[in-house]
Amino acid sequence: MTLNDRQWQRVARGMDGEGVELSAEERSVLEEVRAAEQALLGRLDVTLPAGVLAKAERRMTAELARPRRGIRWVYGAVAAAAVVLIVAGLLPLLPPGSVTNKDAADPLRAASTEQLLNSVALTEVEAEVALLDSQLSELEADLWLSRAPEPGEAKMDSIEQQLDDFWLDGGASLPEIEG
Amino acid sequence: MQGERLRETIASAQAGSADAYRALLRVYGPRLYGYFYRATRNHHDAEDLLGEISLRLVRRLKTYDERGRFDPWLFRIAANMVRDRIRRIKTAPSALSFSFGDDESGASPIDRIADDAAPVDAAALAAEASGALQDALAKLDEPTREVILLRHFGGMSYKEIAEVCGCPLGTVLARVHRGLKKLRVIMDT
């Protein structure tokens, strides 16, 4: 007795109680399977050893108690994650080098120390530059005062003096300008 | 437990009632154990799997949709667990359960030595017959054994078995037909 796939499918649907019109051959197979199933009925059943169900029940009871502990863990994990996120969000807002680590071996600490040294070094250079600048100014002033005034410069100084007197004292005549 | 009573018990369990969960385990435990034992041929594995499925029942019952039938839903989980167990045993032989070659009662070898001295009775004869059935089942290929066991213990329709096995409906019945025939031949000889 050989059925094709379609026929097996029809017999299966018949076994499932669907109203399927079966051929004599298909019906014969259906009866055969049904009889074999009946013959097996009860023979496959196994007696449950003592204590097995009770043991499974204990595991089940423990599992039923677990969710409450689980929820506490979930709350704890969520709180910890929130703290980490807040700290991570605030870090970029802090000035560079403001976060240090007490552990000397920590790269963060090493970096911040280096930054501090750099800032000190920059200040020293700046002070030195300022000192040099003031010394140069003094030297320039000394050189200017030490040299003899040229004739034109003296005449110009005299003219400036007469102009100031005219405007301040209300003098009658302005000094003559040569040339 | 059938119909309305089963629905109520499942609903209570889904609402978190420990008593309802225990009631479900008491009703389905023996059938699940039978399925596990026949599928693994080992009482230790069957006991372990029963404990495991009781945990999964707690974890997964909330996902059960009451519109579907409960038995196929539960035995689908059981079938997956058995497949997983067999796969692990095949890939890692050291994961094989410590077994002396179980008998039907689940008794230890020491218990069985004591039992050997006892006179033969009806229970022993029944156990022997069941042992012969177990040997016959062991000679079936795995997919065939699975569909026969799901049909018997899970009370599943062929359509539901086809869904669990992921194979065409006709193929399932052809397997069952061939398997049952083979079982009869083995047991008759």
pLDDT (tens digit per residue) in A96-112: 666 555 555 566 665 66
Q: What distance in Å separates residue A22's CA from the closest CA in chain B? A: 14
CB within 8 A of B115, min separation 6: which ones? B107, B124
Nearest residue on chain B to A33, judged by CA atoms?
B177
Dihedral of the alpha carbons of B10, B13, B18, B23, in degrees to the nearest 10: 0
% chain A with pLDDT above 70: 55
Q: Is B97 exposed, middle or buried (0-12, 13-18, 19+ CB in 10 A)?
A: middle
Q: C-alpha angle A91/A92/A97, rounded to 5°?
A: 75
User: Using only C-alpha atoms, what is the Rg of chain A?
Assistant: 54
Per DSSP, helices labelled H in A4-105 are 5-15, 24-40, 52-90
Instruction: State which residues of chain B have pLDDT below 70.
Output: 1-2, 93-130, 189
pLDDT recorded at residue B30: 95
Distance CA B29, CA B33 (A): 6
- Candidates B173, B184, B187: best to mutate against A (most CBs of A within 10 A) is B173
- Transcribe A58-75 into DSSP letters: HHHHHHHHHHHHHHHHHH
The ipTM, to two decimals, is 0.76
Residue numbers in B near A13 (CB within 8 A) = 158-159, 169
User: What's the token pair of residue B185?
Assistant: 């031949």
Q: C-alpha angle B25/B62/B84, rounded to 5°?
A: 65
Contact A46, B34 (CB under 8 A): yes
Give the mean model confidence (pLDDT) for residues A112-136: 66
pLDDT recorded at residue B81: 95
Distance CA A44, CA B153 (A): 9
Residue numbers in A near B174 (CB within 8 A) = 3, 8
Residue numbers in A near B183 (CB within 8 A) = 36, 40
Torsion sign over Cα B11, B14, B16, B20: positive
- Provide the 8-state DSSP code for B117: T
Give the mean model confidence (pLDDT) for residues A50-74: 80
Contact A163, A175 (CB under 8 A): yes
Give the mean model confidence (pLDDT) for residues A4-32: 94
What angle do the packed helices B158-165 and B169-188 form, to 10 degrees?
Answer: 100
Q: Which of A15, A52, A61 sits opposite B50 (nearest CB)?
A: A52
The answer to pTM > 0.80 is no
pLDDT recorded at residue B90: 78
What angle do the packed helices B18-40 and B3-14 form, to 10 degrees?
Answer: 110
Domain architecture of chain B: domains with CATH: 1-97 (1.10.1740.10), 121-189 (1.10.10.10)
The set of long-range contacts for A142-150, using a CB threshold of 8 Å and a minimum separation of 24, is: none
pLDDT recorded at residue B115: 45
Distance CA B15, CA A23 (A): 49
User: What's the token pair of residue A114?
Assistant: 């280096």
Any idea which residue has 């009631």 for tokens?
A: B23
More confident residue, A33 or A79: A33
Helix (H, G, I), strand (E, B) or coil at A88: helix
Any idea which residue has 């320039």 for tokens?
A: A140
Which tens digit of pLDDT belongs to each residue from B71-126?
Answer: 999 999 999 999 999 888 878 765 555 444 455 555 544 444 444 444 455 555 56
Residue numbers in B near A46 (CB within 8 A) = 30, 33-34, 37-38, 46, 104, 130
pLDDT recorded at residue B100: 42
Q: Do A36 and B51 touch (CB under 8 A)?
A: no
Q: Do B43 and A49 touch (CB under 8 A)?
A: yes
Residue A23: band (very low, low, confident or very high) from pLDDT cuts 50, 70, 90: very high
Give the mean model confidence (pLDDT) for residues A135-154: 64
Distance CA B56, CA B145 (A): 24
Closest CA to A63 of B55, B150, B146: B55
Q: Do B30 and A53 touch (CB under 8 A)?
A: yes
pLDDT recorded at residue B18: 92
More confident residue, A76 or B45: B45
Please check the confidence at residue A117 and state whether its pLDDT lies above 60.
no
Distance CA A25, CA A23 (A): 5
A93 at the B interface (CB within 8 A)? Answer: no
Any idea which residue has 């049909």 for tokens?
A: B151
pLDDT recorded at residue A120: 52
Please check the confidence at residue A142 and state whether its pLDDT lies above 80.
no
A34 at the B interface (CB within 8 A)? Answer: no
Q: Do B47 and A46 touch (CB under 8 A)?
A: no
